[in-house]
Amino acid sequence: MKKTFWISSSIFVLFIIWVLTYQVIDHPLIMPSPQAVFLSLFNILTNLDSLGIILASIFRLIISIVLSTALGIILGMLSGLNQKVSWVMKPYVTILRTIPVISIIVILLILFGYRITPFVITFLMVFPIVFQAAESGIKAINRELIDVYRLEEHHFFISLKYLYFPMIQKYLILSFLQSFGLGLKVLVMAEYLGQTRNSIGNSLYLARMNLDYSAVFAWTILLILISFGIEYIVHYYQLRKLVD
C-alpha cells in the first residue's frame, strides 16, 4: 500500500510539473497540453493501423531479445566455466558495451538497410548484458557446491537444470529487465533513423515532420507504458517462481 501511494504521488507530481510547464511556455509546438497528448494517445490506441505498428515493433523487440538472450546465456555460461572462453569473449563484449549506439546504427544501416538493422542493433546491445549476467552468475556459485554436485551427478545437462540455472536465475532476471528497457530504446532509435516501415520509430519521425508534437508525446508515453508492462510481467513471473 505504501509503495503504491509513493509511486502514485510521484506520477502526480510529474503531471503537475507538466501542466505548470505548459502554462508557462504557452506554446503547443514546444510543449503540448496534457489534453491534446492524451487525445492523441487515445487515437493511437483505438486505431487499427497504429495497433499494427505497435505489434510490429514489439515483434522485432521480442525476436531480437530471444536470440541475444539464448546466445548470451550459452556463451556467458561457457565463459564462466572456462577462463579461455572468457579471454576470447572479453574484447567483443567490451567493444559492444563502449561503442556509441548512434555510430553502430549508422554503420548497420549502410550494411543491412532499414529492414534488418533494428533487429541487429537490438541484438548487439542486449547481448553483452545477458552475457555478463550469465558469466557473473556462474562465477558467483560456490566452487565447493559444484564439486559436491559433480561427485554425485556426472551428467552435464542434469547439472545445468538443477544447479547452474537455479543459481544464476536472479542474475538472468535482472539482465532481462535491463534488456527490455535498453532494447526498446535502441530499437525505436534504429527505426527512427532508418525510417523503418510499420514501426513506432517511423511514427515518431512522421509526427515530428508534421509538427504534431502531441503525437510525439503520446508515442513516448506509450513506450513508457510498454516498458512498465513488460517489467511487471517479468516481476510477476519471478514472484510466481518464488511461490512455487
Where exactly are the structural domains of the chain? 1-28, 32-243
State the pLDDT at residue 153: 58
Q: How far is residue 218's CA from residue 240's CA, in Å, rounded to a whole number?
A: 33
| pLDDT tens digits, one per residue of 168-198 | 777 787 787 778 888 888 999 999 988 888 8
- pTM score: 0.83
For 131, the grid coordinates are 552475457
First to last CA, the chain: 24
Regions in the chain scoring below 70 on pLDDT: 1-3, 143-162, 235-244
State the pLDDT at residue 141: 75
Q: How far is residue 22's CA from residue 17's CA, in Å, rounded to a whole number?
A: 9
From the list 43, 11, 12, the residue with the least C-alpha distance to 212 is 43
State the pLDDT at residue 243: 46
State the pLDDT at residue 193: 87
Give me the CATH code for the 32-243 domain, please: 1.10.3720.10
Beta-carbon count within 10 A of 199 CB:
23
Sequence letter at residue 128: P
From the list 42, 48, 197, 65, the residue with the least C-alpha distance to 121 is 65
Helical packing angle, 48-81 and 101-140, nearest 10°: 50
